[in-house]
Homo-oligomer: A and B are copies of this chain.
């Protein structure tokens, strides 16, 4: 029913995650009403990201070319991998680049990362071969990695990925740990769900240890 350029935009917007047909229509009309320079800034931001940002060839985190306008080469490394002060013997394995940001915010971790770019999820058709697991195995041999900290979401997909990796790595000379699951700091025991409280009990530690 709409002019074809408008319908094309609605269709493209509707393919974005979390954007249904009604939201796509609403966003398209919003873009139509916006002054051209504001709407074109979004188009330009997409173009810039696709030309300048790619994955770090080592850890598969986001890697951005530092020269404006330059394409990210397939040999690009991310800022963390390029930082020689980071401890190469400890690698924090995460699902997504946003998890790297979350761990960095704690300022507790001085090692490197490995981004699997997903988690095992049979329901979504994601198996181990879709993840950056082969590349992780290669790094363990090449970079003298001593400990892998599995930093996955405490849900079914995270659990499945942790289980798969721990079995795969059990014969390699590398320590594999997983971050603790339990009550969030400031949380209230009374309102904790049973699964979280169960995990917290399971992961109990000696006081003063």
Contact = CB atoms under 8 A, between A and B. Distances in A.
Interface of A: 1-6, 8-9, 11-13, 15-19, 23, 25-33, 36, 38-50, 52-53, 62-64, 79, 96-98, 101, 104-105, 117
The 4 A-B residue pairs with the shortest CB-CB distance in the complex, in nearest-first order: A3-B64, A43-B46, A43-B43, A9-B45
Given A30-B17, A64-B5, A46 B53 contact: no
Nearest to A10: B45
Contacts of A28: 49
Contacts of A13: 42
A62 B8 contact: no
Contacts of A98: 25, 29
Contact of A16 (B1, B30, B97): B30
Which one of A32, A40, A104 has the greatest number of beta carbons of chain B within 10 Å? A32
A46 B31 contact: yes
Interface SS of chain A: helix
A18 B31 CA distance: 13
Nearest to A18: B23
A77 to B, nearest CB: 12
Contacts of A11: 45
Contact of A45 (B5, B18, B33): B5
Contacts of A4: 64
Contact of A62 (B3, B26, B42): B3
A39 B50 contact: yes
Contacts of A63: 3
Contacts of A117: 33
B64 A9 contact: no
